[in-house]
Structure 1
Amino acid sequence: MSLPGLLVLTDRSQCDRPLADVVAVAVDAGARAVVLREKDLPDGERDALAGELRAVLAPVGGQLVCAGPRGDDAVHLAARDPFPAPRPRLVGRSCHSAGELAAARAEGCDYVLLSPVFPTRSKPGYGPALGVEGFARLLPGAPPAYALGGVLPDVVPALLAAGAAGIAVMGPVMRDPSIVAAYLTALAAA
């Protein structure tokens, strides 16, 4: 299975309205893949939210990926999460170093999120920021890598030229989901 060039990551704490409404606006603007984070929610609430987001994505053939190793056919793992058994249909992992990228490749991850590319308000304290050159240096031998962390539409062409499989965005989309159109325009132009 292949993912589109833009992955939207959720963080309801950055939204000014219900998360499902923010995702609906992002989907209306063209988003087709969403990673549901919200790991602090109790399982029942998170499952209900996943159902809402699947309903938003279904009419456009979109993909919901759930963060954590539990249950779904498409999962996104933190750097230290155990690899799930049985293997889901789609497995991604967050990576921050060459060692984590090598481990993700060895375990057969379908994609990785490599971060932080730039300083980010969403996850302060991670770093140092890689920059475009640092991101590119880590890619050889890695699974398809999405650039995450402080990525704005104007740097998308440089990241794609550096070898990114796509980009992953959380904060800017959670705060203004209509910005998805600008990211998609940048992806299409590159």
Structure 2
Amino acid sequence: MTLPRLLVITDRILARSGVEQVAEEVARAGGWLLLRDKDLAGEERRQLAHRLRRITREHGTAFSVSADIALAGEVDADGVHLQELPAIPVARAALGAGSWIGFSAHSIADVAAAHSAGADYVTLSPIYETSSKPGYGPVRGTDFVRQAAGLGLPVFALAGLAPARAVECRLAGAYGVAVMGGIMCSENPGAEVGLYLEALGR
């Protein structure tokens, strides 16, 4: 399966209609879903992962899990998204060559290191100001995206990504975009996914 262009990150606190309803609309519209919600207790997050995996499987769309390699394997996720570089080869050994291993990058050095460690893609942030994570850090803009994309690893721009900004990032060389608040907070997540996909050249 080819990496989709839109990665939608869950946040049950932001999800206006409940995270599972949002997931249903995202999956129906063709978005790739990433279970974040890392503050959930282990068993509660495990059960949510199974429910979200069923939803994405019903719609034939991709699903990944943040941080927890074992849980990604348990639910037969398409991939895992990591925050620690040493976990990349561990995930590859556990999940196999066909799994998508992602990494959260915040510098050009992070992107280069993730590439060397065998990641399949990175999220790169913060690109713009974001209301869902105020004080996230100094925004870096599209020049940052351009530099990172030049290293040869698929880059998903993250933070403050409205559909129009998704176009800017694609023009700067981003493979795609990752979105949390823009879709979780939407009154119509499915329609919002459609706007992003259209902007990304669906």
TM over 0.5: yes
Letter in 2 for 1:184: L
Unaligned runs of 5+ in 2: 74-78
Q: What is the match of residue 141 of structure 2?
A: 131
Check conservation: 1:5, 1:167, Cα contact below 8 A. Answer: yes
Count of residues in correspondence between the two structures: 188
1:145-160 residue pairs with structure 2 within 5 A? 145-160=155-170
CA, structure 1 residues 81+43, in 2 after alignment: closer, same or farther (shift >3 Å)?
farther
Residue 185 (1) aligns with residue 191 (2)? no
Q: Distance in 2 between matches of 1:152 and 1:161?
A: 14
Letter in 2 for 1:76: H
Check conservation: 2:30, 2:61, Cα contact below 8 A. Answer: no
The CA deviation string for residues 23-59 of structure 1, in whole angstroms up to 9 with x for no partner, is 112223332x111001111121111111111111112
Runs of 4+ in 1 over 4 A off after TM superposition: none
Shift of 1:63: 1.4
Q: What is the match of residue 118 of structure 2?
A: 108
Letter in 2 for 1:77: L
Q: What is the match of residue 58 of structure 1?
A: 57
Q: Distance in 1 between matches of 2:84 and 2:197?
A: 27
Q: What is the match of residue 29 of structure 2?
A: 29
Residue 82 (1) aligns with residue 87 (2)? yes
Greater shift in the superposed pair: 109-118 or 61-70: 61-70
CA RMSD in angstroms, aligned pairs only: 1.7
Q: Distance in 2 between matches of 1:146 and 1:40?
A: 23
Check conservation: 2:166, 2:199, Cα contact below 8 A. Answer: yes
Q: Distance in 1 between matches of 2:19 and 2:45?
A: 12
Shift of 1:62: 1.1
The CA deviation string for residues 52-90 of structure 1, in whole angstroms up to 9 with x for no partner, is 111111122211100004312411002567333524222
Unaligned runs of 5+ in 1: none
Greater shift in the superposed pair: 74-83 or 14-23: 74-83
Check conservation: 1:68, 1:81, Cα contact below 8 A. Answer: no
